[in-house]
Every structure is written in C-alpha cells, then in structure tokens.
Amino acid sequence: MKLNMGCGYNKANGYINVDMFPECKPDVLCDLEVLPWIWADNSVDAVRFNHSLEHLGQQSRVFLGMMKELYRICKNNAKIEIGVPHPRHDNFINDPTHVRMISPALLSLFDKELNDEWKRLGAANSPLAHYLGVDFVITSSTIILDAPYSQMYSRGELSEAEIDVMLRERNNIASEHRIELTVRK
C-alpha cells in the first residue's frame, strides 16, 4: 500500500490519496493530527508528503505522535518522500497554515544510529528515535534552488560552499527541500 498524505488537489496515481478536506475528494478522508491512524501495523510500503507535512503538528506532542504512527504503519524499508518549502523562503514564511519547519536536521533526530553517535559524543541533540521507538534514516536530501541561483550554480558561477553560506545568511535562495527517508525495523 502507498499513501499520499495531505494530498489536497494533488492526487498521485498508484497511491491512496488522503486528506482531511472533503472538497478535494480524497480516497480516504482523514485528519492526520488525530491519532491513532486507521492503517494497520506494518502495512505501508511508501508514503508521500508533498507540501503537506509543514501544515501538520503545530504542537510538539502531536508531531511526535505522528512520527510514531508513521513508523508503526510502515513496513521495514518503506520509503517516505517529503517535499516541503525551504524555511527561509517566502513560500514558507507567507503561508499562515505552515506550522512547522521541516529540514534534514529535524528529521535526523529520528535516526537511531545518529542518536547513538550523539550520545557517544555527549551532543545536545534530542535522541527522539530512542524516546519514541522509531528509526528513520535519511537516504537522500536535495535542495531546490530558486532562480537565478539555480542557473548560476549550473553555470559554475556559484560553488556549493558559496550556496551553503547564502542559505545560512539570506532568504529566498532555495525554494524547497526534497527528502527521502527509509524505515529501519
């Protein structure tokens, strides 16, 4: 089974399209902030959150509960695709329904191997994978650059190091994060 969570009007072929708003006519009408979810343990092969995860879990306990539910319903090696606006882009900042910044750094808190390494180092990172009993590994992470930066980078006019500095210092350099997680059980 493959789930397209918070699909809105953006249905995905081959997925069960899930949303809380009947106006978008999802396959399954479900408020993802209401837990537990309706799907059985270890029943899901793939999940998509395409510009929806940043709208969910304003309260930390709800967001953490959603991560536990995601882990519960996914099979071992399930793939989770996440597309979210970059938190330093106007597309994120100007939408009042965006309640949580999603980044690779945030999602790495749900990786048990990283939690173990941070514990060994005495790092201050929250070991959420251990606290929640989940284990998600980031298998890919891509930043989508806005124009003109994407063209400048592709022409060799900007290096990766320069882009990294710009991303930390300025808004509207990157429009989106695309992150893939794999479930480890």
**Mean pLDDT, the chain, integer:** 97
Residue type, 11: K
Mean pLDDT of the region 93-116:
97
- Per DSSP, 158 falls in state S
The band of 102, judged by pLDDT with boundaries at 50, 70 and 90, is very high
Q: 2-145+176-183 is classed in which CATH architecture?
A: 3-Layer(aba) Sandwich (3.40)
The band of 96, judged by pLDDT with boundaries at 50, 70 and 90, is very high
The band of 45, judged by pLDDT with boundaries at 50, 70 and 90, is very high
Spans of all domains in the chain: 2-145+176-183
Please provide residue 139's backbone torsions phi and psi, each rounded to the nearest 5 degrees: -100, -20
Q: How many residues does the chain have?
A: 185
Mean pLDDT of the region 114-128:
97
pLDDT value at residue 163: 97
Place of tokens 């790092």: 123
- Strand order of the sheet with strand 28-29? 28-29, 16-19, 2-5, 44-50, 74-85, 174-183, 136-145
Q: Is the pTM of this model over 0.85?
A: yes
DSSP string, 66-117: HHHHHHHHEEEEEEEEEEEE-TTSHHHHT-TT------HHHHHTT-HHHHHH
Q: How far is the C-alpha of 37 from the C-alpha of 29, rounded, in Å?
A: 11
pLDDT digits (tens, 9 = 90+) for 61-82: 999 999 999 999 999 999 999 9
